[in-house]
Amino acid sequence: MSNRSPERLTKKQKQDQARENARLQREEQRARKRRQRWFIQGGVVLGMLAVVAIAALVVFNVTRPPSPGPLNMLSDGILISGNGTTTTAVTTTAIQPDSTPVPTDPTKQAGTVNIVMYVDYQCPFCQQFETTNAAQISQWVTAGVATVEIHPIAILDNSSGGTKYSTRSANAAACVANFDPDKYLAVNNALFTNQPAEGGSGLTDTELQKVVSDAGASGKDVASCITSQTFSGWVTSATKRALTGPLPNSDTATVQGTPTVIVDGKKYSGALDNATTFNDFVGQLATSGLSAGG
């Protein structure tokens, strides 16, 4: 081992040491540059992977197959009839994704007046019509002299502060049609009775559950269906079909506003807040049974 101190290094040794220090500095600089390139390239790769993941998610969401509609709404609406004492929903299978609705066959309701309504549960004019005419429509249907077919659609989502209340309430109605269809008429009335004001945030899902439950459809399946918005995709599809037409069994090509009310194929264009006017319109189209019972 040498006992030579740094001060006693020869000139050549000092030069060798300086060259070695310079070499080490160059190696460190090269290593630092390699690390920088790796981080930059790695960041680009991670960024590209993130873009690919986002793109894949978008493609999945776009191409994800739509879900079936609710049971008992094969026509995009639920048909309700009566036997003199009670009202009952006509049972049907569910409309399948990308399928065409099967219109109700009016010949199977011979001897009755067929009332078809396209409604939005956020629509104040629908509420006005419902408040004015619900009692007499229910009386006619219960007596068996009329049927009512209700099509919930959503055209006023922009009137609920971004919460899409029209879609959510139509979905809630579809949940009832699927799991507790005989309560639909009561729920339909309750949704209009508890209609939130336009421009607000609409009812929350919890509040919707309570409205539906208080109207008689209190099952857990209905409640979870409302929360998960099981039929919101169907609501969108059914709304598009109503707006683009053609409307079956009708002299009206498309829904141009709500409520659209069709009686035995004829569109009602009278006052929404006058029960006598609507009664007279129905009476003109009524069978002898309705004329006698109305």
- pLDDT digits 0-9 by tens, 38-69: 444 444 433 433 333 333 333 333 334 567 99
Query: In the prediction, which pLDDT does 35 show?
Result: 58
Inter-CA distances, 277 with 180, 201, 257, Å: 33, 34, 20
Distance (Å, rounded) from C-alpha 177 to C-alpha 230? 12
What is the CATH number that goes with domain 78-293? 3.40.30.10
Query: In the prediction, which pLDDT does 6 show?
Result: 45
Domain residue ranges of the chain, discontinuous segments joined by +: 9-63, 78-293
Q: How confident is the model at residue 190 (pLDDT cuts 50, 70, 90)?
A: very high
Assigned token pair, 215: 């109207």
pLDDT (tens digit, 9 = 90+) per residue, 213-264? 999 999 999 999 999 999 999 999 999 999 999 999 999 999 999 999 999 9
Q: How confident is the model at residue 287 (pLDDT cuts 50, 70, 90)?
A: low
Distance (Å, rounded) from C-alpha 233 to C-alpha 227? 14
Is the peptide bond between 246 and the residue preceding it cis, with omega within 30 degrees of 0? Answer: yes
Distance (Å, rounded) from C-alpha 182 to C-alpha 147? 13
Backbone angles phi, psi at 237, to 5 degrees: -65, -45
Go through 78-114 and write b for each residue having 16 or more CB atoms within 10 A of its CB, e for each that does not. bbbbbeeeebebbebebbeeeeebebbebeebeebbb
Burial class (CB in 10 A: 0-12, 13-18, 19+), 27: exposed
